[in-house]
Amino acid sequence: MDKLAPFHHSPPLLQNHKPKPIRTHSPPSLSVALTTTSSLETTPRPTHVPNLGSLNGFTADSNTLDSVKAMHAQMIKKGNKWNSDSMAKHLITSYLELGDCKSAAVVFFVGFARNYVMWNNFLEEFKSFGGDPSEVLEVFKELHCEGVVFDSRVISVVLKICASVMNLWLGLEVHASLIKRGFELDVYVRCALMNFYGRCWCVESANQVFHEPRNLDDLLWNEAILVNLKNERFVKALELFREMQFLTSKVNATTVLKILQACSKKGALNEGKQIHGYVLKLAMESNLSICNSLIIMYSRNGKIKLASRVFDSMKDHSLSSWNSIISSYSTLGYLNDAWNLFCKMERSGTKPDIITWNSILSGNAIVSSYKEVLIILRRMQAAGFRPNPRSITSVLQAVIEPGLLNFGKEIHAYVIRNGLDYDAYVGTSLLDMYVKNDCLTSSQAIFDNMKNKNIVAWNSLISGYSFKGHFDHAKRLLNRMKEEGIKPDLITWNSLVAGYSMRGHTKEALALIHDIKISGLTPNVVSWTALISGCSQNGNYSESIEAFVQMQEEGIKPNSATISSLLRTCGGLSLLQKGKEIHCLSIRKSFIEDLYVATALIDTYSKSGDLESAHKVFWSAEKTLASWNCMIMGFAINGCGREVIALLDGMQRAGILPDAITFTALLSGCKNSGLVEEGWKCFDMMSNDYGIKPTIEHYSCMADLLGRAGYLDEAWDFIQTMPIKPDASVWGAMLGSCRIHGNIEFAEIAAKELFKLEPYNSANYVLMLSLYAMSNRWEDVDRIKDLMDTRGIKPRQVWSWIQIDQRVHLFSAGGIPHQDEGEIYYELYQLVSELKKFGYLPDVNCVYQNIDEEEKVKMLLSHTEKLAITYGLIKTSSAPIRVIKNTRICSDCHTAAKLISLVRSREIFLRDGVRFHHFKAGKCSCNDYW
């Protein structure tokens, strides 16, 4: 016990006066007190103090404090009349009404019999008149120092007040005094001590009080479990629960309820099932609160059938029971079942309340079924329920994602008309709605008018500015936040990190991670994942990998989101081996079960040319719309058009409805394989069968498909009759097709449009240079070059790279020569000699400089993809060669790569700026269609 009372930390509060002769106040029996507790219920303060003069023969004017004190003194002199409980209670009320809270507390302490119910009523009345519970403790200390000895009931209540007002030292002094007196701690005092230590000090001290060598009452066991649950010591609470079972002690209903609530929060399904077994064993299933908690526990663990079974087994259903099961179905997305239960509830005679309606609203809002949300909202109002703040936040959540800004504005107007803008959650939801609809000005206005700005509101606006690249605004808000005394949390910092990294400002994002440490916080996995993900989405793949290395050096373990971002990086760089390593890590850490990780793996393998592995992951994972789309796009970029169509059939058989992304992938597969008829079929299927309105991406794919297939007139007509204005992607597809088929007439029209839409995109100018050079129109070549010089446009730097033994080797046109350049060119000259024996003739049309033939042939040898492939032949023996190129492969290199795969018996995977090429035995997977 001494360990629980470190008295040397504070001056003694209960021993600071020389004690006077002890006067013991022994209250009369509890039965008297129980009959009169109702008179202490809180009532509105009357305009005058009631006259007590008629009570028990006393006469006095009690309208003033002095008269009440005089009457009080007269009552004490009369001796036995003091034992009247009703008189004591009138005295307490009179003192409170006249503002003398201290005298009221003295009367309550020594005036009459007390029980725990009366204490609660007294404290409620005491606080309603402006009294501070700490004043009650001060009275207790004074009386104790005067020599008054209190019984265990008073001590228990005092300890509870200490815990309530967090008076750490008085509670310790009370405990010390009890030890000093050799006071025998009864079960109520021990429970109060455990509650005090659990709340004010530490749960270990509370557990020490529990484990003292005395008989353990059932009440103590229950208190010990509750104290550990309050302190989130879930494992310890369960250990105590199991020990109780072995000792045949009985857990009360309140404790069972709290343990079930903890199982809901902690996701402890197995433990929850064990508690359910205990409930059945002790026939507690008739307790509605316990059954409701069982329903919530099962639903939060995703076991809606078990939750439904508990509900169906209940003999009686309260309104709370109906709300629990309806909320469970709604939250988990079973919206039709939730609505059926709602109707069943009405038929059973139980009227829904605002909580019921909000549960239905919330479930539909989660899945963004905004149309259903509007219908439910109207039905709710027709039933006589006015939307409250919870209703409004659900409705706003439903209109955030679809971009229904106008409807969001209507909700905003409703909020203002009905005075709901006082609610911080409503204000934050409105702010978030405007942020996600790119209305930062409106968001700022709402924020400035919010009276109670919580940290969520600050974070929402800061993230809005950050993600839109308005970093000056975001930083100003951050500084203002600090000035107003609100400390930025990790969410604040992480939103800034994500915004900077997504915009390509990796150095600034890294600096922010350093600022997090300076602020006293520790960057977590979300911080680093925001950096990694932002770099990956922005195409800064190498910086994404560097950030992951730093994250590991900091000792931060990745989560599934980190893995998904890393896999996107591997896909962007076609790092097949690295992708396989991450795949192994995902299996070891059980991340493979995450749908995002599985989809990212499919994407990585597809973009690395390993369709077999991508297909294996696809068939072993749970198939969602996203995974189907990813697999279809994987086949599309690898030129497997027939497989793309087959996947669509499989998707339809599985009952998965395609979306706009699906059709983009389908049309991409058709254009990369020259499947014109199938492409038209898919394009028509969009609107005719699925009601999907074609977007500019779909029109671009169709123009590309027709143009590449040689149907340039049809492609031109298609562009002219489009219901939406062609953008750069459409005209770019037309220009690329003209380059393939040498059509200068249409090319010049397309180029003219592109030069207006993208005046600084060098790729468009280079295509025209190439086309004019092929036609020996050197004056036009010079004209395009002059135009580029005038506009300050430089051709995009061309590069290819290959990874060998974990090291990337870059070959750049006009860049720093490779260290093994001499060896590479020597091998390449030998290789070209071999290729010529198999009919290879350099295609000088791929050179648009006006130089002689011999010089053009030499220039073809310096193409970066040839150098990378040759270096792969030198440094590897039998493994497939994998090369990445940032621009479209030229026809000469394509022919050379086919012949190299035949002459050297090596597979070559080349990913260019458009698609994948898999060269094997003298053939390419694109069938010369690219």
Name the residue among 38, 42, 67, 40 with its Cα closest to residue 52: 67
Phi and psi, residue 918, nearest 5°: -115, 105
The C-alpha atoms of residue 537 and residue 509 are separated, in whole angstroms, by 14
Could you tell me where the DSSP H helices lie in 401-488?
405-417, 424-436, 440-449, 455-467, 471-483
- Whether pTM exceeds 0.75: no
The CA–CA distances, whole Å, from 864 to 94, 475, 713, 747 equal 97, 44, 35, 27
**What is the rounded average pLDDT for all residues in the chain?**
81
Tens digit of pLDDT for each residue in 637-656?
A: 888 889 999 999 999 898 88
Could you tell me where the DSSP H helices lie in 13-115?
30-34, 65-77, 85-97, 101-110
Q: Give yes or no for a contact between 886 and 798, defined as CB atoms under 8 angstroms apart.
A: yes
Contacts 24+ apart (CB under 8 A), 182-187: 183/155, 185/152, 185/212, 185/214, 186/152, 187/217, 187/219, 187/220
Those residues whose C-beta lies under 8 Å from the C-beta of residue 496, and which sit 6 or more positions away, are 462, 463, 466, 471, 474, 478, 509, 512
Where on the phi/psi map is residue 267: left (φ > 0), alpha (ψ -120 to 50), or beta? left
Lowest mean pLDDT among 187-201, 495-509, 676-690, 751-765: 187-201
pLDDT at res. 405: 83
Those residues whose C-beta lies under 8 Å from the C-beta of residue 339, and which sit 6 or more positions away, are 360
For 498-517, b/e burial (b = at least 16 CB within 10 A) is bbbbbbbbbeebbebbebbe
The C-alpha atoms of residue 718 and residue 604 are separated, in whole angstroms, by 34
Asked whether the predicted pLDDT for residue 29 surpasses 60, the reply is: no
Q: Estimate the crossing angle of helix 541-553 against helix 506-518, to 10 degrees.
A: 20
Q: Specify the pairing of strand 908-911 against strand 916-920.
A: antiparallel
pLDDT at res. 544: 86
Tokens of 532: 């990694």
Name the residue among 619, 706, 698 with its Cα closest to residue 665: 698
Tens digit of pLDDT for each residue in 581-598?
A: 899 988 988 888 888 899
Residue bearing tokens 């019921």: 356
For the chain, the structural domain boundaries read: 694-796, 799-924
pLDDT at res. 83: 52
pLDDT at res. 213: 56
The CA–CA distances, whole Å, from 603 to 434, 548, 652, 832, 916 equal 33, 20, 21, 35, 13
Tens digit of pLDDT for each residue in 284-297?
A: 878 888 888 888 88
Other Cβ atoms closer than 10 A to 777? 14
Name the residue among 728, 770, 719, 729 with its Cα closest to residue 753: 728
Other Cβ atoms closer than 10 A to 77? 8
Where on the phi/psi map is residue 813: left (φ > 0), alpha (ψ -120 to 50), or beta? beta
The C-alpha atoms of residue 153 and residue 121 are separated, in whole angstroms, by 15
The 8-class DSSP code of residue 422 comes to G
The C-alpha atoms of residue 234 and residue 226 are separated, in whole angstroms, by 10
The C-alpha atoms of residue 818 and residue 802 are separated, in whole angstroms, by 12
pLDDT at res. 849: 80
Residue 493: pLDDT band by 50, 70, 90 thresholds? very high
Residue 795: pLDDT band by 50, 70, 90 thresholds? confident
Q: Give yes or no for a contact between 334 and 302, defined as CB atoms under 8 angstroms apart.
A: no
The C-alpha atoms of residue 320 and residue 417 are separated, in whole angstroms, by 31
Asked whether the predicted pLDDT for residue 78 surpasses 70, the reply is: no
Q: What is the mean pLDDT of residues 796-808?
A: 85
Give percent of the chain with pLDDT exceeding 90.
28
The CA–CA distances, whole Å, from 732 to 143, 696, 726 equal 92, 13, 10
For 270-308, b/e burial (b = at least 16 CB within 10 A) is ebbbbbbeebeeeebbebbbbbbbbbbbbbbbebbebbb
Lowest mean pLDDT among 57-61, 159-163, 391-395, 632-636: 57-61
Q: Give yes or no for a contact between 442 and 461, defined as CB atoms under 8 angstroms apart.
A: no
The C-alpha atoms of residue 327 and residue 319 are separated, in whole angstroms, by 12
Phi and psi, residue 400, nearest 5°: -70, -55
The C-alpha atoms of residue 314 and residue 292 are separated, in whole angstroms, by 10
3-state secondary structure of 670: helix
Asked whether the predicted pLDDT for residue 806 surpasses 60, the reply is: yes
Tens digit of pLDDT for each residue in 772-784?
A: 988 889 899 899 9
Lowest mean pLDDT among 267-276, 421-430, 515-524, 772-781: 267-276
Tens digit of pLDDT for each residue in 497-530?
A: 999 988 888 889 989 999 999 988 999 999 999 9
Q: Specify the pairing of strand 916-920 against strand 923-924.
A: antiparallel
The C-alpha atoms of residue 430 and residue 425 are separated, in whole angstroms, by 9
Tokens of 760: 């600084």
Q: What is the mean pLDDT of residues 412-439?
A: 87
Residue 425: pLDDT band by 50, 70, 90 thresholds? confident
Q: What is the mean pLDDT of residues 47-52?
A: 40
3-state secondary structure of 804: strand
pLDDT at res. 135: 73
Q: Estimate the crossing angle of helix 440-449 against helix 455-467, to 10 degrees.
A: 160
pLDDT at res. 912: 86
The C-alpha atoms of residue 672 and residue 685 are separated, in whole angstroms, by 19
Name the residue among 547, 550, 604 with its Cα closest to residue 573: 604
Tens digit of pLDDT for each residue in 877-905?
A: 888 899 988 888 888 999 999 999 999 99
Q: For the chain, how long is the longest CA-to-CA vector?
A: 132
Domain 694-796: give its CATH architecture. Alpha Horseshoe (1.25)
The C-alpha atoms of residue 419 and residue 697 are separated, in whole angstroms, by 45
Tokens of 416: 């203002």
Lowest mean pLDDT among 74-78, 261-265, 446-450: 74-78
The C-alpha atoms of residue 341 and residue 694 are separated, in whole angstroms, by 39
The CA–CA distances, whole Å, from 767 to 738, 739, 740, 917 equal 9, 7, 10, 21
Tokens of 141: 């200390």
Lowest mean pLDDT among 106-120, 432-446, 475-489: 106-120
Tens digit of pLDDT for each residue in 135-169?
A: 777 777 776 676 666 666 677 777 777 777 676 67
Residue bearing tokens 């004690």: 19
Phi and psi, residue 780, nearest 5°: -70, -35
The C-alpha atoms of residue 432 and residue 175 are separated, in whole angstroms, by 51
pLDDT at res. 804: 87
Residue bearing tokens 């915004």: 499
Which of the two residues, 135 and 420, has the higher pLDDT score? 420
pLDDT at res. 10: 33
For 364, half-sphere exposure in the C-beta direction (CA atoms, 13 angstrom radius) is 22
| Amino acid in position 178 | L
The 8-class DSSP code of residue 387 comes to P
Name the residue among 774, 767, 759, 683 with its Cα closest to residue 732: 767
pLDDT at res. 95: 76
pLDDT at res. 572: 82
The C-alpha atoms of residue 551 and residue 553 are separated, in whole angstroms, by 5
Q: Is the dihedral of CA 13, 15, 18, 21 positive or negative?
A: positive
C-alpha 657 chain-centroid distance: 27
Asked whether the predicted pLDDT for residue 46 surpasses 50, the reply is: no
Asked whether the predicted pLDDT for residue 764 surpasses 50, the reply is: yes
Name the residue among 688, 663, 656, 697 with its Cα closest to residue 678: 663
Those residues whose C-beta lies under 8 Å from the C-beta of residue 216, and which sit 6 or more positions away, are 210, 247, 249
